[in-house]
Amino acid sequence: MTHHVYLFIKHRSTPSDGPELLGGKGANLAEMSRLGLPVPPGFTLSTEVCNHFLAHKGEYPKGLHADVEEALAAIGEVMGSHFGDPDDPLLVSVRSGARQSMPGMMETVLNVGLTPNTLPAMIEKTGNPRFVYDAYRRLITMYSDVVMEKGAGINPGEDAGIRVQLDAMLEEVKHEHGHTTDADLTADQLKVLCDRYRDRIQEVLGCPFPDDPLEQLWGAVSAVFTSWNGKRAKSYRRIEGIPDAWGTAVNVQAMVFGNMGPTSATGVAFTRNPATGSNVFYGEWLPNAQGEDVVAGTRTPYALNQESKTNTNTELPTLEDIQPEAYQQLVEIRTTLEQRYRDMQDIEFTVQEGRLWMLQTRTGKRNGAAALHIAVDMVEEGLIEHREAIQRVLPSQLDELLHPMIDPVAEGSCTPLARGLPAGPGGAGGKIVLTADRAEKLGKAGEQVVLVRAETSPEDVHGMHVAQAIVTAKGGMTSHAALVARGWGKTCVVGCGELDIQLAAGTVTVTGADGETVLREGDWLTVNGSTGAVYSEELALVDTDPEKNPILSTFLGWCDRVRRLNIRTNADSPDDAALARRFGARGIGLCRTEHMFFGEERILAMREMILADTPEEQEEAVAKLLPYQKQDFKGILRVMEGLPVTIRLLDPPLHEFMPQNPDQIREIAKSTGKDEAAVRLRIEQLHELNPMLGHRGCRLGITHPAITRMQARAILEAAAELTLEGVDARPEIMVPLVSHIKELEDQKSIIQSVAAEVMAEIGVEDLKYLVGTMIELPRAALLADEIATEADFFSFGTNDLTQMTCGFSRDDVVTFLPFYLERGIYQFDPFASLDRTGVGQLVAMATERGRSTRSDLKIGICGEHGGDPASIRFFHQVGLDYVSCSPFRVPIARLAAAQSALADEG
Amino acid sequence: MTHHVYLFIKHRSTPSDGPELLGGKGANLAEMSRLGLPVPPGFTLSTEVCNHFLAHKGEYPKGLHADVEEALAAIGEVMGSHFGDPDDPLLVSVRSGARQSMPGMMETVLNVGLTPNTLPAMIEKTGNPRFVYDAYRRLITMYSDVVMEKGAGINPGEDAGIRVQLDAMLEEVKHEHGHTTDADLTADQLKVLCDRYRDRIQEVLGCPFPDDPLEQLWGAVSAVFTSWNGKRAKSYRRIEGIPDAWGTAVNVQAMVFGNMGPTSATGVAFTRNPATGSNVFYGEWLPNAQGEDVVAGTRTPYALNQESKTNTNTELPTLEDIQPEAYQQLVEIRTTLEQRYRDMQDIEFTVQEGRLWMLQTRTGKRNGAAALHIAVDMVEEGLIEHREAIQRVLPSQLDELLHPMIDPVAEGSCTPLARGLPAGPGGAGGKIVLTADRAEKLGKAGEQVVLVRAETSPEDVHGMHVAQAIVTAKGGMTSHAALVARGWGKTCVVGCGELDIQLAAGTVTVTGADGETVLREGDWLTVNGSTGAVYSEELALVDTDPEKNPILSTFLGWCDRVRRLNIRTNADSPDDAALARRFGARGIGLCRTEHMFFGEERILAMREMILADTPEEQEEAVAKLLPYQKQDFKGILRVMEGLPVTIRLLDPPLHEFMPQNPDQIREIAKSTGKDEAAVRLRIEQLHELNPMLGHRGCRLGITHPAITRMQARAILEAAAELTLEGVDARPEIMVPLVSHIKELEDQKSIIQSVAAEVMAEIGVEDLKYLVGTMIELPRAALLADEIATEADFFSFGTNDLTQMTCGFSRDDVVTFLPFYLERGIYQFDPFASLDRTGVGQLVAMATERGRSTRSDLKIGICGEHGGDPASIRFFHQVGLDYVSCSPFRVPIARLAAAQSALADEG
């Protein structure tokens, strides 16, 4: 026998080949057979056969037919019945099995081998003509659809396929006889139906339904291989990044039947609870049923055992009750499989007339809580090592644990009203409000609200803060709304283009597939920020509290022992800083100072500064901001005692601090004593065609040195006063948007002179502080060696670096990036996960060049990518010292950093 | 004698040291002496003395005093009179002389050695007491100012210095005696004045005027050295990039007097005409006068000879007439100097009582026309080689030749009304118009107009086209106005912030140093686009016609033989292409297609496309544009027969094609049959926060493939039809704003499929065309190796590459870049001259990487930098194949490319 056909027969399967050749399902069937588990015998046609078949226009490797017939004979020997034998026929299933699971993407044909010739023997053998004709009906339905129509490349268009026609005929027959369910059909009625099916197939597809078992078998095998290149399978592979070249294996296996009568059954089980991770056997089953009946949801499944009972099946018997022997055998198999695979397994089984058969085992899918629980338990059970446990939990699973989520059961039964981009994770709900002011008012009154805006701006921050969730019609993953929401760990959906907001009318019109829906302020909205779905129903939430989760602490403790990257947080307030510290942040990597300017009195001073006519007026206005800023910094530095706190000098363009509406302009003119026209003129002058590339960052500090002086003074006075109190304050002052070393020199010299003044004034002799810069412009990365000579540290601003390197405005990409992603032009959103081949080159280059002139240069990253696991992996590889992310992503970053370190070990 | 003191005495000057040690003036005096020319004897104190003096707080190297006295003695020997000798005193001048000329930046003292002790002998010797007292008066004035006040570091504030006081006393004395000119003062009156001067000096400066000749000498020398670090000199050096470490030399030289009577004279001359370059001796002189009298402009200078006569001095005698011997001697010296220096010289001479003395020679400054003429003539005269001639003409001088300019004399007498950035060279004038429509109307009616706008947009193009000049209040060197103007070689000043335009009132308010000026539409404006000055006067223009300039053709022909870089042009119309070809362009490097969409019917089709609700509607609208585009391309390809024509696919964001004003919106809604609200909504949707980083470039072609298909078809049908006519059309299709190879693949596959269709339809078998890409995003540069595998050519879009790399929006930099330039943070505007250390790295990297995967990759540059000589030098060094620039800069690029090639040879 060549190595195209791999037998799996209890204790006799060929040496275990991997899923590359056998596919996942085939490899596991072979392994279970090797372990002596009761697997219906069968064989696998390898992925090589698939590739040969596809490369040679449907031809098979030489000798394959003989090998298959030999394998069928071997199965027949074990089962005691033979394929095509009119006296004692063996039926087989033909199933796909790719290296990586592609659920529902490829085809399956059951009951292959049933023909007018083998039917009588089957009836005799089972004594159940109804069962046999029903099996034949199922074969004809599947086969005509999968093999004769799709497999032949016929595309009759949606709702016109043969399957639809046959299903309609089934309904007709049921109707004729006044039946309501399939189960009511008698053997004779089914027999007539099968004959009608055959006639219709001949008529519609122009060829007879095959009566030769081998013809059926090869037809089914070919159809499965062909389905590898089906449209659905191909697009699934593109999304999941599965190479076309892998191909699928095909598994041909002796049929066993769970629907052969009251002592037959079928079921699925998990070796541990996949929703909680607790170490109990958990599953569902149905008596006298086939696997698809469990999955289809037409019958309420029974619980496998007491531990699996839910409120829908408390009264129904368990398998343990009904079939204690089979159940006991399953319990043993559960242990065998966990010992073998050292992970929670998802299994399928059938009991045929009291005899247990294992149809499938695979690593079980689980939610975040379960993944964590299982990993930690398995370490304690001695099944796996710490490092393995760390690798078992996906960062995205950890994310689930950190936010309340919509009850999955409730969500499953609803259709989203609209979909946008998942910008802030978790689930939340509340009454729709359309303005930040109203959100604040209702929020303060104790109402739960969802702020719905076309887009948000810094002036909406107060409303965003009280809202349960934020939904915007415009904007991308790094729009203002998304950034703020992620920073606060708040549920947020952005770019939800189906929403059209009528502010004046207080309504939101949603244009969906089902036409227009009009919502009003006060209507409820439930938002799933992890998927981007928005519901008009009020859905229940499942709460989570990471701080009260000792398993999480244990697990992250293991991560901390392994990782090399330091984890800091992006935090602008003492509260955020404290939260992040509890989540394990070891410092602040980015404290933005601009949000601090939006308080009522502060923004007025800021506006006075902007409107100042003379340097003196400007200094005077800026001076008013000093006490506020100092207080802010003092709070943050105190919370982060003993840890570094990187504070970025003012970054956004000044126009962001000015209002646009006439009333506010009038008010400002009044309060600053300026002419209204002059205020308007100044606002107009501040307007920029491309503010992202405009007068912002250190350009502000250079043209308005008063701002830098004030900010430096606020930071250094705060640190000096804390030092006098005995608090270990470690400020790191960061200059943004540097493109030229002279910009950094300019700002550094201001900071240094302020530092000297402050030390003298407050009487602290050797105040420790660092001065460094953002690396967020390509030019800075290219000239990092030069810039490093003036910088104590670098922090990559990968948001802006991505914008400049790719030429993408993160606020504007929404009009073409989704299209790009869909077409595979970009594989992923470069604002969500670092563009390693492009932007990553600049990160690597700047790191290397920076260290070439300053070996002790501290290097971190404080863009949104600091919380993205794939990006963290890259930053680890490049050799950064730390990543900084929003508080809620700190645990995720700790895990991702640990996984990166483990990946190094190979 | 150490080497601190270098004698220059006829036939006896020490071996010729260079200007590093002797300064420019000293080196030339030494050289003239060596050649035996009649130079008043003297000596140079080297730059080393200066550096010693400045480094040691005013101390001189040991032994210097003795050396100087020895040198004075040597001069005395030649002159027959001795420094300080009361019987026959020698007077000397003390002058600065840096390595590079710094005119007027350092000090001079004349007549050093005159004291009450030497006055009588001088009077006796000259028989002219008035002359001697006048000389003494001049010494006291200069010395008290330069040495006793400035040299001592006294800063009495503007208009309060000793010089001002002495000048006032002179006026008083003249007034006392009823004189109108200095010349009216008698010897006695001057004597009294000198005494009064001495008293005032004692009183004001607190020390007596020195009566010791040596004290005077050392005082003067020290003052000159000190002036190297004066404020003026330092700031001049910073601007000109002259290192502080160079220091200045000091020249001490025997005084000769052109004001000793009717046989004395003084003059300046050029060995050739510096305004035209013609090979005639050209100069001015004054009888009985000192050098400063010629320069001061108080007397009308006489012409040196017949050839030098102007309309102001036709009636005045020439030196040739009055002093034929001295003149003849000068003519011989002229030849000697040109032979020696092999370049046009600027000389100063004095005739003292019939005897000629040479005071100075240096390379003469010249305008562009003269530089060219002289260089070409000197090659023909065998004085210099071709390569030297090429190096003699500055690219900026060539630029002068290519544009009409304001008459320099007229301009000199006017004060600019306002100043902006010099965005389009040359001079022009016309009536102010404030809208493009009015400009077009008046322009078509034959009026000369200057279009004055806050800023321009593509919708102003028709008005810009007819205007003589464009002035904008906003925008930088690469704003829309600047780009369009340079492309057309049109005079343009941008960012002229002093202008405030009241469109409704039809007025322009200019706020200058002298308060507000209000101009109205119809008032005249003269614009100097080479300097950025704007005048409210109507100034005369000097015309130039490069095409009728055979010298230019000869010269550029030499350049073409030397250069390695190819020169192409940026041209969007057949006219521009033809012009550029006449200017020597060997192809088009950038044909923008978007300007072609602004014709009346075209823009309507474009708008229909943008407003289309269905793909069919879109295709239909786009199809209307095909015939126009094809006609455009056909015209250009025909003009450029046999040469490559790079056509860029549509680049700007779609919003640029939509109107903003309600009337136009209404009109469009009507003409497209759309709802007005829908049109407004679409315009709103097209709005982007940062359009530069938005939905433009190939992103448009990818999301709107109909556009790419139409443009590819227009280009390829044009080329195919021309091919059938026997015209050698060579289109190169360029995909803009590529950041990812898949973008290029996408567009290329569209182009290729269109090409196959067109070839089949038109029946051309092997249509030659290339498909390449712009490299204008940092990501494209970083991934150039990958992108090159799909590209036949690269063209660097250095405008956008600069924007992205530095994070500078060229439209917005005006608020901070001028500040940056002033403060020296950036040394130059990176949009005017390539930022070689930053952006240049990406250019070099992309070139190397691109060629690493495709050795025959054609690489050029089509940004604004393609016409900048310093940038061209860099592109040459990096190894590009060509640069492309606007038609009017093609000759400049040819020269710059040749100079770059010559620089390689060392």
Predicted confidence band at A481 (pLDDT cuts at 50, 70, 90)?
A: confident
Residue pLDDT, tens place only, B739-795: 999 999 999 999 999 999 999 999 998 899 999 999 999 999 999 999 999 999 999
In chain A, the residue whose alpha carbon lies closest to the alpha carbon of B743 is A825
- Residue B575: is it exposed, middle or buried by C-beta count within 10 angstroms (0-12/13-18/19+)? middle
Residue pLDDT, tens place only, A691-708: 999 999 999 999 999 999
Q: What are the b/e assignments for A438-461, b being 16+ CB within 10 Å?
A: bbbebbeeeebbbbbbebbebbbb
Q: What is the pLDDT of residue A1?
A: 42
- Best of A811, A815, A834, A839 to substitute, by most chain B Cβ atoms within 10 angstroms, is A815
Do the Cβ atoms of A816 and B699 come within 8 Å? Answer: yes
Do the Cβ atoms of B690 and A690 come within 8 Å? Answer: yes
In chain A, the residue whose alpha carbon lies closest to the alpha carbon of B746 is A825
B716: closest CA of chain A, how far (Å): 26
Residue pLDDT, tens place only, A372-402: 999 999 999 999 999 999 999 999 888 878 8
Residue pLDDT, tens place only, B502-536: 988 999 999 876 778 899 999 999 999 888 899 99
Q: Is A498 on the interface with B (CB under 8 A)?
A: no
Q: Is B782 on the interface with A (CB under 8 A)?
A: yes
Do the Cβ atoms of B804 and A809 come within 8 Å? Answer: no
Instruction: Give contacts of A737 with chain B, Cβ < 8 Å.
Output: 807
Q: Is A837 on the interface with B (CB under 8 A)?
A: yes
Q: Please identify among residues 736-775 of chain B the ones whose CB lies closer than 8 Å to any CB of chain A.
A: 737, 739-740, 742-743, 746
Which range is least confidently modeled, A253-267, A403-417, B697-711, B860-874?
A: A403-417
Q: Is A689 on the interface with B (CB under 8 A)?
A: yes
Q: What is the pLDDT of residue A16?
A: 61
Predicted confidence (pLDDT) at residue A289 exceeds the cutoff of 80: yes
Predicted confidence (pLDDT) at residue B610 exceeds the cutoff of 80: yes
Do the Cβ atoms of B742 and A825 come within 8 Å? Answer: yes
d(CA B715, CA B634): 8
The H-or-E segment that residue B296 falls in is helix B291-296
Predicted confidence band at B1 (pLDDT cuts at 50, 70, 90)?
A: very low
Tell me the angle at which helices B162-176 and B129-143 cross, rounded to the nearest 10 degrees. 150
Q: Average pLDDT for residues A313-318, to the nearest whole number?
A: 88
Q: Is A694 on the interface with B (CB under 8 A)?
A: yes
Look at residues B283, B288, B318, B312 and name the one whose alpha carbon lies nearest to residue B300. B312
Predicted confidence (pLDDT) at residue A710 exceeds the cutoff of 60: yes
From the candidates B4, B480, B865, B876, give the one annotated as an active-site residue.
B480
Instruction: Give contacts of B819 with chain A, Cβ < 8 Å.
Output: 702-703
- Residue B201: is it exposed, middle or buried by C-beta count within 10 angstroms (0-12/13-18/19+)? buried
Q: Is B11 on the interface with A (CB under 8 A)?
A: no
Predicted confidence band at B15 (pLDDT cuts at 50, 70, 90)?
A: low
The H-or-E segment that residue A788 falls in is helix A784-788
Predicted confidence band at B478 (pLDDT cuts at 50, 70, 90)?
A: low
Secondary structure letter of residue B881 according to DSSP: S
Name every residue whose Cβ is closer than 8 Å to that of residue A230 and which is 6 or more positions away in sequence: A105, A106, A150
Q: Least CB-CB distance to A838: which of B782, B807, B825?
A: B782
Secondary structure letter of residue A144 according to DSSP: I
Q: What is the pLDDT of residue B705?
A: 95
Instruction: Give contacts of B694 with chain A, Cβ < 8 Å.
Output: 809, 812-813, 815
The beta-strand segments (E) located in A651-749 are 730-735
Q: What is the pLDDT of residue B16?
A: 61
Contact (Cβ atoms closer than 8 angstroms) between residue B754 and residue B713? yes
Q: What is the pLDDT of residue A403?
A: 80
In chain B, the residue whose alpha carbon lies closest to the alpha carbon of A782 is B838
Predicted confidence (pLDDT) at residue A896 exceeds the cutoff of 80: yes
* Position with higher pLDDT, B482 vs A146: A146
B699: closest CA of chain A, how far (Å): 7
Please give the share of chain A, as a percent, with pLDDT higher than 70. Answer: 97
Secondary structure letter of residue A657 according to DSSP: G
**Global ipTM:** 0.81
Residue pLDDT, tens place only, B427-447: 999 999 999 989 989 988 889
d(CA A783, CA A789): 11
Q: Is A523 on the interface with B (CB under 8 A)?
A: no
| B556: amino acid identity, one letter | L
Do the Cβ atoms of B819 and A702 come within 8 Å? Answer: yes
Instruction: Give contacts of B805 with chain A, Cβ < 8 Å.
Output: 777-779, 782, 804
Instruction: Give contacts of B813 with chain A, Cβ < 8 Å.
Output: 694
Predicted confidence (pLDDT) at residue A14 exceeds the cutoff of 80: no
- Best of B501, B690, B817 to substitute, by most chain A Cβ atoms within 10 angstroms, is B690
Do the Cβ atoms of A691 and B690 come within 8 Å? Answer: yes
Q: Is A824 on the interface with B (CB under 8 A)?
A: yes
Q: Is B656 on the interface with A (CB under 8 A)?
A: no
In chain B, the residue whose alpha carbon lies closest to the alpha carbon of A745 is B825
Count of A–B CB contacts within 8 Å?
Answer: 164
Q: Least CB-CB distance to B809: which of A689, A815, A839?
A: A689
H-helix segments, B599-704: 600-611, 615-639, 662-672, 676-686, 698-703
Question: CA separation (Å) from A560 to A376, A386, A554, A894, B680?
Answer: 15, 12, 10, 7, 55
Secondary structure letter of residue B650 according to DSSP: P
Q: Least CB-CB distance to A825: which of B689, B746, B779?
A: B746
Indicate the SS3 state at residue A130: helix
In chain B, the residue whose alpha carbon lies closest to the alpha carbon of A813 is B694
From the candidates A492, A862, A865, A885, give the one annotated as an active-site residue.
A862
Look at residues B883, B832, B842 and name the one whose alpha carbon lies nearest to residue B563. B883
Q: What angle do CA B676, B682, B687 make, to 5 degrees?
A: 130
Q: Average pLDDT for residues B604-626, to the nearest whole number?
A: 90
Q: Is A688 on the interface with B (CB under 8 A)?
A: yes
The H-or-E segment that residue B32 falls in is helix B19-34
Q: What is the pLDDT of residue B89?
A: 95
Phi, psi of A402 (to 5 degrees): -100, 0
Look at residues B452, B436, B430 and name the one whose alpha carbon lies nearest to residue B518. B452
Do the Cβ atoms of B778 and A778 come within 8 Å? Answer: yes
A790: closest CA of chain B, how far (Å): 15
A31: closest CA of chain B, how far (Å): 42
Residue pLDDT, tens place only, B60-77: 999 999 999 999 999 999
Q: Is B803 on the interface with A (CB under 8 A)?
A: yes
The H-or-E segment that residue B813 falls in is none
| A476: amino acid identity, one letter | G
Indicate the SS3 state at residue B109: strand
Q: Least CB-CB distance to B739: which of A694, A777, A806?
A: A806
- What is the reported pTM? 0.81
Predicted confidence (pLDDT) at residue A488 exceeds the cutoff of 60: yes
From the candidates A82, A480, A704, A876, give the one annotated as an active-site residue.
A480
Instruction: Give contacts of A831 with chain B, Cβ < 8 Å.
Output: none
Predicted confidence (pLDDT) at residue A234 exceeds the cutoff of 70: yes
Predicted confidence band at A280 (pLDDT cuts at 50, 70, 90)?
A: very high
Residue B480 is a catalytic residue:
yes
Predicted confidence (pLDDT) at residue A722 exceeds the cutoff of 70: yes
- Best of A782, A817, A831, A841 to substitute, by most chain B Cβ atoms within 10 angstroms, is A782
Q: Is B17 on the interface with A (CB under 8 A)?
A: no
Which range is least confidently modeled, A828-832, B2-6, B173-177?
A: B2-6
Residue A862 is a catalytic residue:
yes
- Best of B775, B815, B842 to substitute, by most chain A Cβ atoms within 10 angstroms, is B815
Indicate the SS3 state at residue B33: helix
A474: closest CA of chain B, how far (Å): 10
Scanning the structure block, which residue is given the tokens 């294992």? A358
Residue pLDDT, tens place only, A97-153: 999 888 777 889 999 999 999 999 999 988 999 999 999 999 999 999 999 998 888
Look at residues B244, B225, B294, B304 and name the one whose alpha carbon lies nearest to residue B58. B225
Paired with A356 in beta bridges are A351
Q: Is A806 on the interface with B (CB under 8 A)?
A: yes
Tell me the angle at which helices A676-686 and A662-672 cross, rounded to the nearest 10 degrees. 120
Contact (Cβ atoms closer than 8 angstroms) between residue B541 and residue B407? yes
For chain A, what is the mean pLDDT? Answer: 91
From the candidates B4, B862, B865, B876, give the one annotated as an active-site residue.
B862
Q: Average pLDDT for residues A310-316, to the nearest whole number?
A: 79
d(CA B613, CA A31): 57
d(CA B656, CA B666): 17
Predicted confidence (pLDDT) at residue B153 exceeds the cutoff of 70: yes
Predicted confidence (pLDDT) at residue B598 exceeds the cutoff of 50: yes
Q: Least CB-CB distance to B695: which of A739, A743, A816?
A: A816
d(CA B576, CA B487): 9
Please give the share of chain B, as a percent, with pLDDT higher than 90. Answer: 68
Residue pLDDT, tens place only, A332-374: 999 999 999 999 999 999 999 999 999 999 998 887 888 999 9
In chain A, the residue whose alpha carbon lies closest to the alpha carbon of B825 is A742
Predicted confidence (pLDDT) at residue A507 exceeds the cutoff of 60: yes
Name every residue whose Cβ is closer than 8 Å to that of residue A568 and which is 6 or more positions away in sequence: A585, A586, A587, A588, A589, A590, A644, A646, A860, A862, A882, A883, A884, A885
Look at residues B270, B391, B376, B281 and name the one whose alpha carbon lies nearest to residue B331. B281
Q: Is A354 on the interface with B (CB under 8 A)?
A: no
Question: CA separation (Å) from A706 to A632, A732, A736, A790?
Answer: 19, 19, 16, 21
